[in-house]
Structure 1
C-alpha cells in the first residue's frame, strides 16, 4: 500500500470536522476534496464570513459555528483543529484523542524523508537554510509548516525521493503523535505562555518533535541548552542524538561569506548543516549554500542609514533572549528600541543584561513592556548609566533614535515582545519600521 493510499484509508469513512478555516483549514478542505471527493464533512469557524466563503459552497460540507462544534465534538471521529485554537481552553471531556492537526498526519503519512525544525527562535532561518542546502544539491525540496505553507498544499507533489523541511511551532506539536525522521531543536525560552498556560506545558509541546522518534531516527539539538536537555531526559524518544555547539562542529565548512549577522545565526547554520549531512548532502553543496544564503526579512535586517546612523530591523524578536543575541551581534549599537505586548514574562534578568551592555547609551521604550522594563532600569537594583526614553509610537521612537544615536554607530529595533498590542504580526511591525527609515532617508 502506497503512503498516499494509506492516508486515504485512514480518512475514508470517518466523520470529519475541519475546525478553523484559515490558511491551514482551507488546505485541509482542499485535500479532503481531492482524496475523498464524495465524502461529506463538517467545517466550523468563529467567523461567519469564513463559513460563507464561495469555495465551500459546492462541496459536501455542513457549515457550523464554533460554539456548535464544541457541543457536537462527541459525534466526530476525527477533528482537524487549526493550530491557533487554544486546546487548554476547550472543555474536551475525553475527546482529545480525536483532535489532530495537519502537521501530525503529514508526519505520519508523507512518502518521503521529513526534517522537522522547532525552537523558540531560529527555526525559520534554520529551516530555510536547510531547504536552500538541499536545493543546491539538486534535491526536490519542499519547505512547509509554520513558515507559512500548510503541509497539505504540497501533498500531491511528494515523491519518495523528495525532501520535506517542516517548520513546527509549539501549536502544531502540542497534539502530535508522530515525530519526523530527523528532528532539529534550536533552543527553548519562555514563549507563548498565554496559549499553553505555563513554560512547562510549552516545553512539553516542543519536546514532541522527538517524543515519537525511533532508533532509526535522528535528533539534532543545541548541546548548550539545559532546558532542552531537561525535557529530553523525560520525553526524548529513542533517536540517535547529535548535540551541536556551532561552526566548530563543521571544520570542513568556511563560514567567512555567510551573510546573516550574529553568533546565533552561525549556530543555526551549523544545525542545518548537520541535518544536511544526515541527508547525505555533499560538502560542495553545503558550501555553495552557505556562501549564497540571504538573511530572512525582519531578522537583524539592515533597514538603511540616516545621517550616518545605521538602523537594523529585528522585529522577529519577541522574547528578551532574542534581543540580547541581536545586541551581541552589533557591538557598535548605541541605541535600542524595545517594547511590545506584555504577556507578563519576567524582565528582571533582561534589565540587568541591558544595564551591563558595554556600548548601549540609549534605550527607547515602547508600550506595553517598555514601561515595566524602564521602571526596572531606573530602579534601585539595576544601574543603567545611559538615557531612557518612554515613547508611545514607533514613529516617536525613530525620531528619538535619530536625535540620540551618534553618527557612525547604529540603532537596533529588537522589541523583545510580540506585536499584537499595536500590529497584526511581527512582519507588519517590521515593515512599518522599514518604511519609517525610508521616509527619514528621503527627508535627510
Structure 2
C-alpha cells in the first residue's frame, strides 16, 4: 500500500487525531489538504494552543480542546498520540463501536516502501539509532531518520525509494499497539521505566516486544545477551536472532574479546574495530556500537565503521561535555531519566564525581542506584520531587557511611548547579545525570539539558 492508497481509503470516513504535537501536526495538514473530515483533540486550552488553533481551523479542522477534549469522541479512524494509553475509556468505547485505532508511526509501517531498521530499549536508543543512521549514510545509503528523533516520516513516504533505509527510534508508547515490525529490529536492553504510565513491568516489556513480534522468518532482530530480559526475548524472535555481548562470545552477532570488537556470522568471525576506536566515553557506548554493528553487518564496510567511531562525538544531552570551567569538567547527561542510565553514566568516569540528580517521579525503584552512588560519587546534589527517595536509596545502600558521599538537597535547579560548582575543585567532574524524568520542572529532558548548559556556559572566568 502506498501513502496515496491509504489516503484514498479515508476519503469517506471521519478521522480523529488525538494530540496536536510534533508527529501529528504534519499528518493533520496532509489529511485536511486532501479534504478528509478531521477532528483534532488536545488537552491544551485554546489559549495555550494560540495561533496553531486558528491555523488548523482555517484549514477546515474541527477542534476539541481543554479538559474534556475526549468527550463525545466519535470517528471511524483514530490516530493516537504515543503518550496516551490506548485503553482510556473514551477511546475504548470508540473501538468497541468499530473505530480503527492507529497512529502516525503505525501507518508509516504500512506504507513505507523501503527497508526499516528500528531501535528500542530502556537505554541507548537514541545513540544507537543515530550511529546506525550515520553509518548507513557514510556508506552512501539514502537514509530517513524518524520516530522519537528526526522528524515525522509518514508524510514523506511517497518520496522514498525501495533502495532507501528508514531508521527509527521507537518508545514503548509507540509500540504498544504496533501490528507491524521492522525488517531489522534492535533491543538495546530492558530495565524498569515509565511505570507511571504502564501498569507494570510486564506490560512495559510486552510493548517493547512488538518491535520483533510481527517479523517474518526473513527478518533480523538484535538483542543484548548481557541483559536477562532481552536474552530471554531473543529465543522468541520469529526470524534471525543476533546477539551482542561484552561478557561472552556469541554464536551469531557481535562481542568483545579483550579490546577487540568481533563480529561472528555463519561460523566466520572478524575484528571490526577496537573499543579504543570509540571516541565517546563509557562501556555502554561500546554496547551501543556492538548493537549497531550487528544491525548493519553486510550493509556498511568495516573501515567506514572504524572511521566513523573515531570521529563521532556523541548525541546532545548524553554525557555531553559542556565546558571545562576553572579546571572542572561539566557534563550534560540529562537524557538519564532512569536509574540504569545514570548508572551507565557514572561508570563512564574513572574518578568519583559530583552528581546532580532528582526530578519527576516515574515510580521506578532507586534501590539499584544507591550502591552505585556510594561507589562513584563524592558529592550528591539532589533537586526535585524524587530527592527523598534517592537519598533513602543511598543511605540504605551497603557500604554507605555518613558523608560518603556527602548529600545536599538544593532547590531550585539553578541553585543546585551552583552548589555543585561552589564545592568543585580543579580536576573534578560535575555531571547532571538525574535518574528521573524532567516533568516536575521542565517540559522534557532536552529542555532540562539546555537549561543546564546555559547556566554553565554563562559563568565568567
How does the TM-score come out when normalised to structure 2? 0.87
Aligned to 2:241: 241
2:32–2:38 CA contact under 8 A, matched in 1: no
Unaligned runs of 5+ in 2: 246-254, 264-270
Q: Does 1:45 align with 2:42?
A: yes
User: What SS does the corresponding residue of 1:53 show, helix, strand or coil?
Assistant: helix
Deviates most, 315-324 or 94-103: 94-103
RMSD: 2.4
User: What SS does the corresponding residue of 1:361 show, helix, strand or coil?
Assistant: strand
Separation of aligned partners in 2, 1:366 and 1:65: 33
Shift of 1:126: 0.8
Which of 123, 126, 131 aligns to 1:124? It is 126
2:145–2:151 CA contact under 8 A, matched in 1: yes
The 3 A distance-change label for structure 1 pair 57 and 397 is: closer
Deviates most, 153-162 or 46-55: 46-55
Query: How many residues are aligned here?
Result: 433
Q: Deviations over 1:192-235 (max 9, x none)?
A: 111122111111111111111110111011111112234555xx
Aligned to 1:330: 349
Separation of aligned partners in 1, 2:158 and 2:431: 43
Unaligned runs of 5+ in 1: none
The 3 A distance-change label for structure 1 pair 237 and 231 is: closer
Aligned to 2:213: 211
User: What SS does the corresponding residue of 2:408 show, helix, strand or coil?
Assistant: strand
Q: Does 1:190 align with 2:187?
A: no
Aligned to 1:287: 306
Shift of 1:190: 1.1
The 3 A distance-change label for structure 1 pair 328 and 124 is: same
Shift of 1:9: 4.8
Aligned to 1:265: 285
Q: Does 1:134 align with 2:100?
A: no
Aligned to 2:248: none
2:273–2:306 CA contact under 8 A, matched in 1: yes
Structure 2 counterparts to residues 20-419 of structure 1, below 5 A: 20-33=19-32, 37-49=34-46, 50=49, 53-65=53-65, 70-73=70-73, 75-91=74-90, 92-93=92-93, 95=95, 98-231=100-233, 236-245=236-245, 246-247=255-256, 248-250=261-263, 251-278=271-298, 280-355=299-374, 357=375, 359-379=376-396, 383-384=400-401, 385-419=404-438
1:207–1:232 CA contact under 8 A, matched in 2: no
The 3 A distance-change label for structure 1 pair 48 and 360 is: closer
Shift of 1:162: 1.1
Q: Deviations over 1:351-391 (max 9, x none)?
A: 12322x1x532211212222222234335866243311121
Shift of 1:132: 0.6
Shift of 1:179: 0.7
2:2–2:158 CA contact under 8 A, matched in 1: no
Shift of 1:282: 2.3
How does the TM-score come out when normalised to structure 1? 0.90
1:182–1:275 CA contact under 8 A, matched in 2: yes
Question: Higher strand proportion, which one?
Answer: 2
Separation of aligned partners in 2, 1:178 and 1:172: 12
Separation of aligned partners in 2, 1:366 and 1:67: 30
